[in-house]
Amino acid sequence: YNKRYKNSSRKNYIIIVTLVLSLVSALRHNGVGVDTYAYYMTFIDSKDLPWSYIWENIHSFFQGAMIKDPGYALFTKIMGTILFDFNVYLFFVALFFLSAIGHILYKSVNYLFGYVISYSFYISLLYGFFPNSAIRQTIAMAFLLWAIIIYQNKHQKLIPVVFIVFAFLLHKSVLFGLIPLCLMFIKNTQLIYKGAIVLMPLFFAVSFEFVELLILLSGAEHYMQYIEGEGGTSVVFIVEMCFFYLIGFSALKYINNNSDYYQRLAFIAFALAISIISFMRVDPSLQRLIAYFSIWGMVFLPNALYAHKPLLRKILIVCVLALCIGRTVLIPSPYKFFWQQMELHDRYDRMYRYY
C-alpha cells in the first residue's frame, strides 16, 4: 500500500507540474523569448501554405538542397489545421516536450523531493528557451526523447527511427542529442564521466575554432552570427553546471553497465555538457546546443545528490536549491501574459513593437 501511495504521489506531482508549466508557456505574450513572435507569424502563414510546396521542399532537402528545416513547415501545417489557435499550439508544444521529461523522471528518479530538485534545475537553466523561445528545437528534442522512451519501453526500432528522422527535418542540431546514445555502448560510464575533466580545458582552448568548424559543416550561413559577434559568457550558468558536475563524483560508484538506462544516459550526457561548456564564451546563445546534454541534468542531479550520506546530502541540496532559485530570482526571464502589454525584441520592425 505504501509503495502504491508513493508511486501515486510521484505521478501526481509530475502531472501537476507538467500541466502548470505547459499552461504558463501557452499563456505567454509573443514578446516572451526572442523567437516567439517569429513563430507566431510562421504559424499564421502556414495555414495558407500549399501542401505541394511543403512536400517538394522535403523532397529537395533529401536530394541535397540547402533548405532550412523543411519539417517545421509540415508540422505547423498539420498543427494549424487541427488546432487553429497559436496559444493552443504553444500548449501542445510544451506538453509534448514536458510529458516526455516527466515520463523519464518517473522511471529514473525514485524520490518525490528529487522532482523538486529536477524542476528547480529545469526552471533555472532551461525553461526560458525549452519551450519558451526555441520552439523548433523544443519539438525536435521532444521527438528525440519520445524515440528513446518508445525504444526503451517497446524495444522496437521503426517508430524511434521515424521520430529521429523527423526531428532532423525540424532541427538538424538534434544529431548532437544522439551522441550520448552512441556513448552508451561504452561500458565504462565512469571513464566517460571523468573524461570531461580532460576534455573541458581542451575545448576551452579551441572553442572558437571548433564552433566555426561546426558551422561550416552545417552549411548554414545564418549561424555565423555566433562567431562574428563580440562573444561573452554566462558565468553563473557555467559555475552552476561545474558545481553540479562535482556533486556527481560520489555517485559514480553506483553507476555501471547494469544501472538504470536513463541514469547512465544522464551521467554521460551531463559529462558532455561540461566538456563543451566553454562554447558559451563564443556566444551565450550556444547554451541551446549544450541543452541537448544539460537537459539530462534533471535526471542526473537528484540521483547524484541522493548518492551522498544524509548530512552531506542535506547541505548539498540547500546549496543546489539556493543556486537554482537564486539564479531565477536574480536573473529572471522577462515574462508577460498574452493579454498584457510587452515590447517585442529589437529584431522586429517598429510597427510591430507593441502588440
Output the CA torsion sign for 259, 2, 149, 297: negative
Instruction: Provide the pLDDT confidence category of residue 265 given band limits of 50, 70 and 90.
Output: very high
Distance CA 12, CA 8 (A): 6
Instruction: Provide the pLDDT confidence category of residue 2 given band limits of 50, 70 and 90.
Output: low
State the pLDDT at residue 351: 46
Distance CA 131, CA 136 (A): 9
Please say if the pLDDT value at position 226 is more than 80: no
Distance CA 104, CA 145 (A): 9
CA distances from 165 to 96, 173, 179 (A): 17, 12, 15
Percent of the chain at pLDDT > 70 equals: 91
> What's this model's pTM, rounded to 2 decimal places?
0.93
Please say if the pLDDT value at position 1 is more than 50: no
